[in-house]
Structure 1
């Protein structure tokens, strides 16, 4: 990773931007009542921050390793069968020209850069008590930034983390579907994902009868439960969103239990699906971890 740009905001500027809580008492109460299984909207006070303007994000992208950058065309259908095509621009050009680039970009694991790690940990620190009261220790905090052109689509997929998406500029609609329901994400797809497969899901228009659409503008946020299928439609202006994520022992146990089910299915068995929180997946998870330690699973 290259050294951070000397033009990034100073520590004093960052602290000035965080002199008040990002999530107020009402937001924290709503989060505590709904976490970890109920998707819901929150308000936040991070709609203007020097680390999240386009030039700062372009410089961040140019400093990150290649594995931490994903960008592609933005004019996509809700469901795709493979990775979408490239834009022909560099990542820096994509972000600086996002208003006209017809693109979607993701900057992954922004905590690799100290200034962004500080921002991520301040945000999660405001919710730590509410998180740990429900799902125990907050593990593996990570941050992701999404920069989207007008009307860009993030196709139907799921993610393994507990996640809050904060809208910084522009608008979008995130449409979520029930987590843990095999109709929207079959067990075999979950198991393949946790064994190294893709996270994209097959789309069916009939799913919309169970859709929950969350319209987001600057100052809005939405909580996404672990593995809740969703897609995102950007609004008429370019968009910047910050995703703050964390794992729990429950989410890791669910992942490892899915890994064991994948091995069992490969051997002709029809394993029982893993349980949603607060059900324990510990026995399967421990078995899979033992196999992995012996080199018999990845």
Structure 2
């Protein structure tokens, strides 16, 4: 059975530079039902779950996001009345969800003429599941990976914006730091540049790397899944943008990627070496939390204050 289908013309003319619609066969899958997701929420470490009130605006300021005083599994179980938004992060760490994500991406890879995910450049495959109450809004933000977003249950409007000229999100806002909240500045005049995908179960869309977007559910609760990967180019860009954020935070303004190729190469090499030393420590949630706090300050662990855990 084909899990994910894309029009051949979109693969030829749009991928990976422009968004386009997809169709999928994941709606109704037993792993993507509320009971299964409540069980998954109970099993995840605290920094793999994020939630807040669903009554946000596209331009919601981080400090004004409403908390929800429930445990993650309770939110999933009560999502029809909770007025909440929740994301289960890195669910591919569970082998069952990894198989689900990889099967979908393998369909995409084969449609592009490749036999494996690695041959297609689909590296660092991750998956995130979103459970939202009716009319909940995910504010304006960017994601630092390539993404197939699939709608499992309910309706959703996905507003995505061309940011190639950086008119909407500047280079500094694209830099990567755990201390920075996801929400970005937004004004209603951005809408003239939006492409809006209206999705129900079985629909989805491809979101290119770092394209800004905001999302709103329809009149019923929503379950969605983001299946993400990073190409070699994206992996390098993310290392560079993380290094730039660290240096900027310490008072050293940084040029945009590609402006100074030699300096870029030095920063990427230094970040790669430093990350390789820290990575073994990140296997423990306690150490991940401590490392984030030590290197990036208390704001890096903001989601621990979102309600009862």
TM over 0.5, shorter chain? yes
Give yes or no for the alignment of 1:164 onto 2:155: no
Give yes or no for the alignment of 1:290 onto 2:269: yes
Contact 1:194 1:256 in 2 (8 A): no
Bigger fraction of residues in helix: 2
Evaluate the alpha carbon distance shift between residue 112 and residue 269 of structure 1 in structure 2; reply closer, same or farther with a 3 A threshold.
Answer: closer
Matches within 5 A, 1:43-58: 43-58=23-38
Of 200-209 and 155-164, the range deviating more from structure 2: 200-209
Aligned to 1:209: 192
Matched positions, count: 272
Give, in whole Å, the separation in 2 of the partners of 1:234 and 1:211: 17
Equivalent position to 2:167, from 183, 189, 192: 183
Structure 2: unaligned runs, 5 residues or longer: 276-294, 296-309
TM-score normalized with structure 2 length: 0.79
Matches within 5 A, 1:31-50: 31-50=11-30
Aligned to 2:41: 61
> How far apart are residue 179 of structure 1 and its match?
3.1
> How far apart are residue 115 of structure 1 and its match?
1.0
Query: What is the DSSP-based 3-state SS (H/G/I as helix, E as strand, rest coil) of the residue aligned with 2:67?
Result: coil
Give yes or no for the alignment of 1:90 onto 2:71: yes
Give, in whole Å, the separation in 2 of the partners of 1:141 and 1:134: 10
Structure 1: unaligned runs, 5 residues or longer: 1-19
Aligned to 1:140: 124
Aligned to 1:10: none
Evaluate the alpha carbon distance shift between residue 142 and residue 270 of structure 1 in structure 2; reply closer, same or farther with a 3 A threshold.
Answer: closer
Aligned to 1:116: 97
Contact 1:260 1:284 in 2 (8 A): no
Equivalent position to 2:136, from 152, 177, 194: 152
Query: What is the DSSP-based 3-state SS (H/G/I as helix, E as strand, rest coil) of the residue aligned with 1:175?
Result: strand
Contact 2:161 2:194 in 1 (8 A): yes
Aligned to 1:127: 108
Query: What is the DSSP-based 3-state SS (H/G/I as helix, E as strand, rest coil) of the residue aligned with 2:121?
Result: coil
